[in-house]
Amino acid sequence: MTSGKMADEYGRKWDRCLADTAVKTVTGLGVGVVFSVLFFKRRTWPVSFGSGLGLGMGYSNCQHDFRLPYLVHGRMVKDQ
Amino acid sequence: MLRLLLRGAAGSARKNGGRGPVAHLQPLRQYSSSQSSGAAKVVAASLLTVGGGIGGTVLYAQWDHKFRATVEKNVPYSDSVFGLILGPAPQNAGPPVRTQLESTQPQSMLEKRAKTSKVQSEKKVKGTTETEAIEPTPTVSVPAASMEEASVEATQIISASGDVPSVPAPCDTEPTVVTEHCDECHPAGPEAVLHGADSPTEQLVERPAEEVSARLAQQDQDEQNVLAAVSSSLEESLACSARAALQAIGAQEAALQAINQHTQKLKEAMEAESPPEEKSVQWKDLEAALMDRTSAVTDATAALQKANEALDSLRTTIRNSKDLKVAAARPLVLAAEENLHKMAVDLDRVVAQVQSAEAESKIVSQYSDLVQEAKLQFQKEVSSLTPEIQANWKGLTGKLSSDDLNALIAHAHRRIDQLNRELAEQRVREQIHIDAALQQQKLEDQRVLENAVSSSLQHVKEEARLEQERKMNELREVMEAEMRTQLRRQAAAHTDHVRDVLKVQEQELRAEAEQVLSSKLLDQETRHRQLTQEQLDNFTLDMNAAYARLKGVEEAIDSHLVAEDEARRAHQLWLSVEALNHTLKTAGAEEPSVPLDSAAQIVRDSCREDDFASALAEALPAESLSRGVYGEASLRARFNSLRSLVRRVALIDESHNSLYQYFLSYLQAALLFEDQQVAPPTQLSSEDLDPFKLLSYASYCLEHGELELAAKLVNQLKGEARRVVEDWLTEARLTLETRQVVSLLSAYANAVGLGTTQAP
């Protein structure tokens, strides 16, 4: 059952990840389009920038989500 | 110099098998021409430094051995290098010196020991001689050399330690010591000599008191006898001489009386003018007196002689008794001597009186002779003148004629003239005669004086001697008394000491005797106790044996009961374990088994007394009790579904977990093909730890029903794959654990059951 859970979790992670990335990319695209239209005289670079930004954010989130079990949070102990 | 060093270092290093710099030297030399001189300089400088360091080390090691030892310890092969260059390390000079000291020390100790032993032996000798010194004086005065030495030492010790004040006084130092002790010495001396000669160093046995007292008594007896004899002899001779002396004195006095009488009578006869008849009577009396006198004088002389003889005999006896040297007789002797002296004095006095009386009578007789002569002369003349007239002229008054008367007167006148002339002549010669007479008298007086002086001197001498003797006697007595007291004191001290010693000895002996007695008693008691104890033990043993047998029988019965009980319980346990085992089998394809709790409870109930079984029952994992365990089939199915996932995340671990890695791992999983099932090797090597291989091994094991091995193999997965497989692993572990416990329990139950069944 748990292995199913693991597999399901794995799949769920992936789903989330992809959905998130897609959403972000699209959002970025949209924002880019908006900015391109509004501020940058319909250049393409804000669109690509925005979409890239969104993709990158999604990618980063996805990576972070997969890395989560391996992340070690350490604290600096100051010497008194 | 340096080159020599270098060469030496190089040579030694070559001998030992080469060193770094040496090995490099040659090829470097080859390349030196090709390379620049700068490199050669550097190389040379380095070589120089190294060689100098080595040479310095060697020199210092030669000088300081500790440094050499340190270097040899720390640097390998340096000891051989040092050995080659310097020679073997010098040995420590410490131990031989120490051994020498030790060897000399025992010698001195031995000497000391010898000395102490000698001193001890001397002390022992001294101790014995000290005891000897307390002995009576004669035994110490034995003139054996060792004895003398010992006595000297003893005196030294005694004087040093201030011990017994009695210093041994040998006889020979005081010959005039108490005579009785000397008497003791003489008979005891030879005996003591023998004694001493026999055992000079042993402790002399004190002569037994009885012997000493007997000897003393004997000596006293002898003394008494001698004394009695001497006193009797003295008394006899004294009495005899006294008698004789008295007789002599009486005789002398009688003689004196006679002489005086005679003289008186003579004087009377001479001077008195009496009628002729009385004259003849007087002359008769005179003659009688003279006879008396002569007889008295002879008697006196005889008596005097006898007295002298007696006195002489007394003197000889006194001398004899003096020669005997018996002290007690001394006063007697002294008294006898005094008596003798007195008698002699009396006799002399009387004799002197007699002699004076005799001298007087001699004068008177001389005078009478003269008168008689004159008378005769006159008568002769008268008769010559008148031959017819008789001599008795007093009766002639009527018969004479005038011629005769004239002739007589003329004769008388002539006679008167003659007499006057003689008188004148006599007066003239008076002085001469007086002188002569005086001289004669002087001579006589001198002689008498000499006699008197000599006799008185003798008397005085005798008296002085007697006085001296008396004083000496007194002194001797005093000395003797003092000696007696000292001896008495010594004897008292001796008796005290002896008493003390006896007391101590008595105590010691008593203690010893008591100890012996107590030990014997103790032995007896212990023996008695031992016997009783033995008897008791035997009885106890028998009783114990009987009791043990009884107990054995009882135990056999009990054990039978117990065994039966145990058998029942074992059966029960087995049944419960079988039930548990059965519940395990209820695991379905996808569901776990029923919870094992109830079965486990039954098992626990059935094995309440059995620790092992109860421990095992406790060891069942809680999860299995509450939830149950999965069966092997379900695990297998799950694994198969897990396998693809594991393949997909094979490359992901802690460090590689980016999305790119994920992509790569996916790619790998897509491209890599492995066998579905591969038999695992007996020993896993490092290349077998690849996840894909492990998965194939594990599936093989699972297919063949080896869940344990599969779990072990799956356990080798690392990283993300491991994380994915973790749940499955836990489940597999749970199942395995439960199955293990159950199998153990069943095995145990079987064993117990087998154990408790009794073979018919």
Q: What is the pLDDT of residue B551?
A: 93
Structure tokens at B269: 């006869």
Q: What is the pLDDT of residue B760?
A: 56
Q: What is the pLDDT of residue B118?
A: 53
Is the pLDDT confidence value at B468 over 60?
yes
Which tops the pLDDT comparison, B287 or B117? B287
Structure tokens at B562: 């117990």
Portion of chain B with pLDDT greater than 90, in percent:
16
Query: How far does A63 lie from chain B, in Å, by closest CA?
Result: 6
Class of residue B311 by CB neighbours under 10 A (exposed 0-12, middle 13-18, buried 19+): buried
Cβ-Cβ contacts under 8 Å for B585 (sequence gap 6 or more): B593, B631
With CA atoms as reference, the chain A residue closest to B636 would be: A3
Within an 8 Å CB–CB cutoff, is residue A18 touching chain B?
A: no
Rounded distance between C-alpha atoms, residue B291 and residue B283, angstroms: 12
Mean pLDDT (whole number) for B273-290: 74
* A66–B727 C-beta distance less than 8 A: no
**B504-547 per-position pLDDT tens digit:** 999 999 999 999 999 999 999 999 999 999 999 999 999 999 99
Mean pLDDT (whole number) for B598-623: 81
Average pLDDT, chain B: 77
Class of residue B485 by CB neighbours under 10 A (exposed 0-12, middle 13-18, buried 19+): exposed
**Nearest alpha carbon to residue A69 among B717, B646, B721:** B721
Contact B718, B676 (CB under 8 A): no
Q: What is the pLDDT of residue B482?
A: 94
Least trusted range by pLDDT, from B9-23, B272-286, B591-605, B729-743:
B9-23
- Using CB atoms, which residue from A3, A59, A70 is nearest to B728? A3
Least trusted range by pLDDT, from B315-329, B343-357, B415-429:
B315-329
Phi, psi of B343 (to 5 degrees): -60, -45
Give pTM, 2 decimals. Answer: 0.36
Structure tokens at B230: 């001497």
Is the pLDDT confidence value at B128 over 50?
no
* A67–B723 C-beta distance less than 8 A: no
Q: What is the pLDDT of residue B327?
A: 64
Quote the ipTM score. Answer: 0.86
| Probe site for chain A from B639, B658, B665, B714 (most A CB atoms < 10 A) | B658
B676 DSSP 8-state letter: S
**Nearest alpha carbon to residue B179 among B611, B476, B615, B599:** B476
* B659–A66 C-beta distance less than 8 A: yes
Is the pLDDT confidence value at B281 over 50?
yes
* A59–B659 C-beta distance less than 8 A: yes
Contact B63, B18 (CB under 8 A): no
